[in-house]
Each structure stands twice: as structure tokens, then as C-alpha cells.
């Protein structure tokens, strides 16, 4: 599903040049549930941004679901993000003042889907929130918000779901529920990548990829 070779990325941080990725190789198969772990500064976030098509590598090749996406235009990347990637963030990142259903509909609206409402309703049912669809995010608990976010991530039926510290803002019990939800989705055939530094989270995953100094640490 994901095949990336020799990814390089450097940033200017003021005067200094920071190497975030130094020739990183990564491969993830369809149907896997993978944890990407690593200490802060390891290049984990940069990798997530590139895998999520929010950013492009300076060098290297990234093939997502058969498409080379290493050097696409901003508009093409937006379409890839819309159709092939579902994001789940630590801080939920739902839009305030619109209902859960409208939040989940949003990716479909950008895709021009005319049955957005029906498809979004189904996604909310999958995450077990069919009774909270009309609520706005600030009327929902943290766990419920993250479920809405998961519903939004799966609503376009993407190739991968990319979750960045998905339970970082949740208590243990709620966090475990969300992780179970991810496992459930994985059991139904979805490819899931969790970016985390929490070993409890990575224990839910079938495989762990450890990043250090911009490279995959072998034999971890």
C-alpha cells in the first residue's frame, strides 16, 4: 500500500539547517496496522506529513496505492488527501459550530459527492455515534469527538488512515475504546498507521516502525 524509498527532507530553522529525514525507507502492506514510534526530533512528524501528502520530500520516491505522489502539484496533493488518506489528529480538529454529521460530510463535499449526507450517516453508524449526529463538537465528550474524527477519516473510503497521537488527549479508558475501534476497522481490512510515542498505543499494532535521526532503526 505504501512504498517509500530514500526520503530526504531538510528544514531551515532560522540559520541552522535541520535534517528531518535522511534517506528513510518504509513499506507498509494493505491491511496492516502499524505504529510509527520515535522520540521527539526523530523525524516522525515529518514522515507523517509526507505520508499524509501534506508535504513533499526533497528527494526520494513515495508510492501510495500505486500512485507516485513524490512531486505532485498542490492541487493534486489535495485530491490525494481527499480520496486516499484519512486523518485523525490528537486534538480532534473538528470544525466548531457545525454538527457532527456536517463535519463528517465535509470531505465528501470537497469531492463533489451528491449523497454526502447518506454516506456520512453510515460512517457515523460505523463508529457508534448514530445518536449524536446533530450535536456540535462542543456538545460531545472527548471520546465522542475522536469518534467523529474517525468517521470523517473513513468516510471517503481511503487507502490509509493516518492517526497522529490519536489518544493523547483522552483518558485511559476512552483511549482504549478508540484503539479498539481502530482494531475493529483494521479487522475489516483498513490499513491504519498510528504515529505515537506511547508504547501502550503501539502494543495494539501488528508491527512497529521505530524512527531515529531521520531513519528507520533496524532490528528494533
Partner 1 sequence: MLLWTIIKVALKSLLANKLRTLLAMLGIIIGVGAVISMLALGAGAKKQIMERITAMGTNLLVVRPGGERRGGVRSGSRESLTIKDAQAIISTIDGIAAVSPLVRGRAQVTYYNENVNTTISGAALTYFDIRNFEIDKGRGLTANEEKRTSRVAILGANTAELLFKNQNPIDEHIRIKNVNFKVVGVLKPKGDQGWFNPDEIVVVPYPTAMKQLFGQAHLNEIDIKAAPDANLKRVEDDISKLLRKRHRIIDDAENDFHVRNQAEIIDMASTFTRTFTILLGGIASISLIVGGIGIMNIMLVTVTERTREIGIRKAIGAKDRDILRQFLLESILISAIGGLLGIVTGFAAAIALKEFTNFQTVIETSSIVLSLSVSTSVGIFFGYYPALRAARLDPITALRYE
From residue 16 to residue 55, the character string flagging contacts with partner 1 as x (rule: CB under 8 A) and all else as - is: ---------------------------------x--x-xx
Cα 124 to Cα 105: distance, rounded to the nearest angstrom: 10
Residue of 101, 56, 105 lying closest to 80 (CA atoms): 56
Distance CA 189, CA 159 (A): 10
Site string (139-158) toward partner 1, x via CB under 8 A? -------------x---x--
Nearer to partner 1, 38 or 158 (CB): 158
For partner 1, the binding residues in 52-111 under the rule CB under 8 A are: 52, 54-55, 74-75, 78-79, 81-83, 87, 89, 93-95, 97-98, 106-107, 109-111
Residues in CB range of 10: below 8 A, 6 or more apart: 17, 18, 19, 20, 58
Query: What is the Cα–Cα distance from 197 to 201, expressed in whole angstroms?
Result: 8
Examine residue 135 and tell whether it contacts partner 1 (CB under 8 A): no
Q: Name the residue nearer to partner 1 (CB basis): 32 or 164.
A: 164
User: CA dist 134 to 56, 92, 98, Å?
Assistant: 37, 17, 9
# binding residues, partner 1 (CB under 8 A)? 26
Query: For the packed helices 142-154 and 116-126, what is the interaxial angle rounded to 10 degrees?
Result: 130
Judged by the rule CB under 8 A, the positions of this chain that interact with partner 1 are 49, 52, 54-55, 74-75, 78-79, 81-83, 87, 89, 93-95, 97-98, 106-107, 109-112, 152, 156
Amino acid at each position: 500500500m505504501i512504498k517509500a524509498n530514500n526520503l530526504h527532507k531538510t528544514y531551515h530553522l532560522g540559520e541552522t539547517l535541520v535534517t528531518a529525514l535522511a534517506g528513510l525507507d518504509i513499506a507498509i502492506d494493505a491491511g496492516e496496522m502499524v505504529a510509527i514510534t520515535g522520540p521527539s526530533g526523530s523525524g516522525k512528524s515529518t514522515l507523517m506529513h509526507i505520508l499524509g501528502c501534506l508535504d513533499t520530500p526533497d528527494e526520494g520516491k513515495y508510492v501510495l496505492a500505486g500512485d507516485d505522489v513524490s512531486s505532485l502539484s498542490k492541487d493534486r496533493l489535495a485530491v490525494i488527501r481527499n480520496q486516499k488518506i484519512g486523518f485523525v489528529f490528537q486534538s480532534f480538529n473538528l470544525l466548531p459550530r457545525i454538527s457532527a454529521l456536517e463535519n463528517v460530510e465535509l470531505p465528501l463535499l470537497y469531492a463533489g459527492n451528491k449523497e454526502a449526507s447518506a454516506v456520512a450517516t453510515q460512517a457515523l453508524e460505523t463508529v457508534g455515534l448514530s445518536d449524536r449526529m446533530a450535536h456540535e463538537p462542543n456538545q460531545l465528550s472527548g471520546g465522542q469527538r475522536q469518534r467523529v474524527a474517525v468517521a470523517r477519516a473513513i468516510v471517503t473510503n481511503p487507502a490509509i488512515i493516518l492517526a497522529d497521537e490519536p489518544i493523547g488527549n483522552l483518558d485511559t479508558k476512552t483511549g482504549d475504546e478508540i484503539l479498539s475501534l481502530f482494531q475493529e476497522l483494521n479487522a475489516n481490512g483498513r490499513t491504519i498507521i498510528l504515529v505515537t510515542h506511547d508504547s501502550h498505543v503501539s502494543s495494539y499494532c501488528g508491527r512497529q516502525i521505530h524512527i531515529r535521526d531521520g531513519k528507520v532503526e533496524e532490528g528494533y
